[in-house]
Amino acid sequence: MGFHLLSPSYCCGYQPSPPISHGLLRFRPVTGIPKPSPKGQLHQSRRASKVLAYYGITTPPYKLDALEPYMSQRTLELHWGKHHRDYVDSLNKQLVKSPLYGHTMEELIKVTYNNGNPLPEFNNAAQVWNHDFFWESMQSGGGKLPQGGVLQQIEKDFDSYSNFRDTFVESAMALFGSGWVWLVLRTEEKKLSVVRTSNAICPLVWGDIPIIALDMWEHAYYLDYKDDREKYINTFMDNLVSWHAATVRMLRAEAFVNLGEPKIPVA
Amino acid sequence: MALRAIAGKKTLTLGLGFGPSGAAAAASFPGLGSGLHARGLVTFSLPDLPYDYGALEPAISGEIMQLHHQKHHQTYITNYNKALEQLEEAMTKGDSSKVVHLQSAIKFNGGGHINHSIFWQNLKPANEGGGEPPHGSLGWAIDTDFGSLEALVKTMNAEGTALQGSGWVWLALDREVKKLKVETTANQDPLVTKGANLVPLLGIDVWEHAYYLQYKNVRPDYLKNIWKVMNWKYASGVYEKEVA
């Protein structure tokens, strides 16, 4: 799910020039393409040019009213259309003056996390990724029980699905302030685990593989649930979480983490 | 032992039962405990607001004020009391790891209680003087330390907008050097966590629950409007007492 900078759809018509000796890719305007541009016109000099966009906003894989009545269309409109979009726009603005382009989103998060001393771009980058991951962690008709390989792994690592569910809910309730709750596959311990993170932090920075995420920032639930976090969390578990997405992610994760005998999840 | 448990439980429910209709004495002194256990543990109850929920409109909606006071602040108090009881028990048993483990819950919930108690005093309906700029010594101090009231407001709004996640933005007095400062704290950390010499004059809650229902994601609008109901008299009172 990384954003690839050379993809034309994100480059708005710019093409990379041949690599310069110090390895930095620079984007040059392609001549002859009519485009409404601000005062930095299409010029053909070899000086560094202004890049218009690095990362784009992805849309949730469902219409904005698809999660009703558990997550209202209004919430999606604001949460995705304003909050998520703001993070993307802010990140792009920051990157104009920064030497950090050329990364996929996941690389960018690890680089800007800077081993615990996050750079200013971290918050925006991580929140862009987190929200993409969050939309894809939900689906209409979600909730119910995981199946196949995911269920087996949950039962192995938590003793039972209901143990896992209780752990997840408790962790979310115990979060102080803004943050996220995750089901991750820990790459070192090779097992599933529930973790909670503050603000924008994402388990990618520790090299773990997220499987499911729940946004516990107040803007995620306040319009629909006001201060009733418990109801929000339970509704997420019962009606929104996409175990299909979790299965796909587990499949991919098993390419990186050896979980023992080969398991062929029945999706 | 059983007697103490009964006495403790009874006074605890008494303490929590005060709610908005009682605890008038507690309202005048934010943070004063009003429940007493047999062993002397002081617990806390929700202070009254000195104005109606709707009195701060249109700057802050009545719906937000009611939820903020009756739900959020009350929850902090409930959990603070719970943590304090558990702390007392752990201290009696000499259970050091439990004592230390409880500190984050105490800082969060206790901080939430302290901060919100100050916050309600920081606000005043516009027709009762809310929004009137500070006069006297605080006014001069603001001009000295920030150049003008507008510059201070601009700084606080900028800091408040830039704050990632949840937290507070404060106008603080450094009581040692007698200078005003703008500070931010994360989550419910009280101002003292930024410096033992810092006295809170004004605090603005920038947790999303403080404005989301009305302003949605536009935190800058909330920050712009809250100055219309700011209670500078309270800030001046605290300031003058400190520098006297």
pLDDT tens digit sequence for A49-61: 565 567 889 999 9
Taking contacts as CB-CB distances below 8 angstroms, the residues of chain B near A222 are: 208-209, 212-213
Determine the pLDDT at residue A262.
64
Determine the pLDDT at residue B132.
95
Q: How far does Cα B67 stand from its chain's mean position?
A: 15
Residue spans of chain B under pLDDT 70:
1-39
Q: Percent of chain A, pLDDT > 90? A: 69
The span from the CA of A122 to the CA of A144, in Å, is 34
Taking contacts as CB-CB distances below 8 angstroms, the residues of chain A near B184 are: none
Predicted confidence band at A23 (pLDDT cuts at 50, 70, 90)? very low
Count Cβ–Cβ pairs < 8 Å, chain A vs chain B: 51
Determine the pLDDT at residue A75.
97
**ipTM computed for the complex:** 0.83
Q: Which of residues 18-57 of B touch A (CB under 8 A)?
A: none
Determine the pLDDT at residue B1.
44
Q: Percent of chain A, pLDDT > 70? A: 79
Rounded to the nearest 5 percent, the helix, strand and coil shares of chain B are: 60, 10, 25
pLDDT tens digit sequence for A100-154: 877 889 999 999 999 999 999 999 999 999 999 999 999 999 999 998 889 999 9
Binding-site residues of B for Mn(2+), in ranges, read: 68, 116, 205, 209
Predicted confidence band at A264 (pLDDT cuts at 50, 70, 90)? confident
Nearest CA to CA, how far is B113 from chain A (Å)?
14
Nearest CA to CA, how far is B107 from chain A (Å)?
10
| Residue A25 neighbours by CB under 8 Å, 6+ apart | A5, A16, A17, A19, A101, A102
CB A259 within 8 A of CB A153: yes
Q: How far does Cα A201 stand from its chain's mean position?
A: 11
Determine the pLDDT at residue A47.
52
Determine the pLDDT at residue A39.
45
Tell which residue, B68, B71, B100, has the closest CA to residue B87.
B100
Helices (H), A49-147: 73-78, 85-96, 105-113, 120-136
Q: Which of residues 65-104 of B touch A (CB under 8 A)?
A: 67, 71-72, 75, 104
Nearest CA to CA, how far is B137 from chain A (Å)?
36
CB of A89 less than 8 A from some CB of B: no
Q: Which of residues 176-235 of B touch A (CB under 8 A)?
A: 186-188, 207-209, 212-213, 216-217
Taking contacts as CB-CB distances below 8 angstroms, the residues of chain A near B165 are: 177-179, 198-200, 217
Cβ separation A82–B217 shorter than 8 A: yes
| Residue B242 neighbours by CB under 8 Å, 6+ apart | B173, B175, B199
Q: Which residue has the higher pLDDT, A265 or A210?
A: A210
